[in-house]
Structure formats: C-alpha cells, structure tokens
C-alpha cells in the first residue's frame, strides 16, 4: 500500500467526521469506548460508591468497587504524595513494571517490602458515571509512605527530588492514625452502625 495516498476507507471516514457536530463525534467515541468496555471476557469492576478522603489539606478521590475493594484513584495518590506527574531524570529510576512510577527510584529499592510488589498493581475500574479510571488499593498509600519515611530515616533520600514526598508521607501517616483511631472506637462501640 502506498503511504502517500489515503485509502478509500479513511477518506470516507474523514468526510463523515467533517459533517458531524462535536456532540455527535463525542457520542460516537463514547459508544466505541463502551463497546471496548463491554467486550466479552473483560470484567472491569465498577464503583458502587465514590467520595473524597480528606487528610490534612489533601483531598484524595476514592471509591469502593462492586467486589468490596477500597481504592484510591491514581491521580489522588499522586497528589497526596506531592507528585503531579511522572518524574524527570530517568537515570535515577529502574524500569520495574511491577511497581508504580512513584516507587521506581533506585534509592528506594532497599526499603520496599516484598509484599508491596504484590499489592501495588494498578486497578482499572469504571466510575459511577461509567468513565474508565485507574487506582490503587487503599492500603497501598500507607505502605508507600512507610517506604519514604524509612528511606529518609536512613539518609537514603535525595532531599532535592524526594524530600517533599517524605514530608507529605509524614502528614499522611499522622492523618491516617487520627482517622484510624476514630474508626476503631466507632467499630468497638458499634457506633458505626448507628
């Protein structure tokens, strides 16, 4: 096939697209995405509940999936750790596909427990509105905080690149402790059911 000439199908598709309104194109794209989601054999869990977890001044989007898993959204975890996007300077990072990007710094490796390799898989799910999203098990974030705090305690962090993450980790851990003790009292007294 000659790459310089468009084929008849792409010419027809382009002509059709030009005639559609923005809303019509959006509806078609949404339908195609739904078709991909609904493929036989692909079981993507759905959120049954969504909310915002507030720890200090940090808001973390979270959800409970239909199978009972509690998750934090991927973007929520990144914001909680003070990371807006993928880190630069890849020479400091390992390409470990079993870990989220925020745990791939070489200097963190000695502080990552084996169990974290198992529990840190990204979870794909559908939000209440049906949008495709990604998250992590809620119990991942306290473990990640522990990694950064352990590395800081041993002087292994690159303060310029990772110091702010350790500071956020300490704030989060303290927030989790405060929320945790209240939840434990509620559970012990049966108040959570009232």
pLDDT at 174 over 70: yes
What is the mean predicted confidence (pLDDT) over 4-32?
66
Kindly report the pTM of this predicted structure: 0.70
User: Per the structure block, which two tokens stand in for 95?
Assistant: 């390409």
pLDDT in tens, 32-43: 656 555 555 568
User: Per the structure block, which two tokens stand in for 106?
Assistant: 């070489």
From residue 95, how far is each of 90, 106, 113, 135, 141 by CA, in Å? 9, 10, 17, 20, 21
Name 154's Cβ contacts closer than 8 Å, sequence gap at least 6.
111
User: Per the structure block, which two tokens stand in for 192?
Assistant: 């959570």
pLDDT in tens, 138-151: 999 999 999 999 99
Q: What is the pLDDT of residue 90?
A: 43
């Amino acid at each position: 096939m000659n790459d310089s000439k468009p084929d008849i199908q792409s010419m027809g598709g382009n002509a059709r697209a030009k005639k559609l309104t923005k809303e019509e194109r959006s509806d078609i794209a949404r339908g195609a995405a739904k078709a991909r989601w609904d493929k036989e054999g692909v079981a993507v869990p759905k959120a049954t509940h969504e909310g915002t977890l507030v720890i200090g001044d940090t808001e973390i989007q979270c959800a409970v999936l239909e199978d009972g898993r509690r998750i934090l959204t991927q973007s929520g975890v990144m914001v909680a750790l003070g990371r807006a996007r993928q880190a630069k300077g890849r020479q400091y990072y390992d390409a470990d596909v079993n870990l989220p990007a925020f745990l791939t710094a070489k200097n963190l490796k000695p502080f990552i427990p084996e169990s974290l390799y198992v529990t840190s898989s990204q979870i794909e799910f559908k939000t209440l509105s049906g949008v495709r999203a990604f998250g992590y098990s809620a119990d991942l974030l306290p473990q990640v905080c522990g990694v950064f705090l352990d590395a800081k305690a041993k002087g292994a962090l690159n303060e310029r690149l990772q110091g702010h993450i350790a500071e956020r980790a300490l704030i989060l851990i303290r927030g989790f402790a405060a929320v945790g003790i209240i939840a434990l009292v509620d559970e012990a007294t049966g108040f959570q059911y009232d």
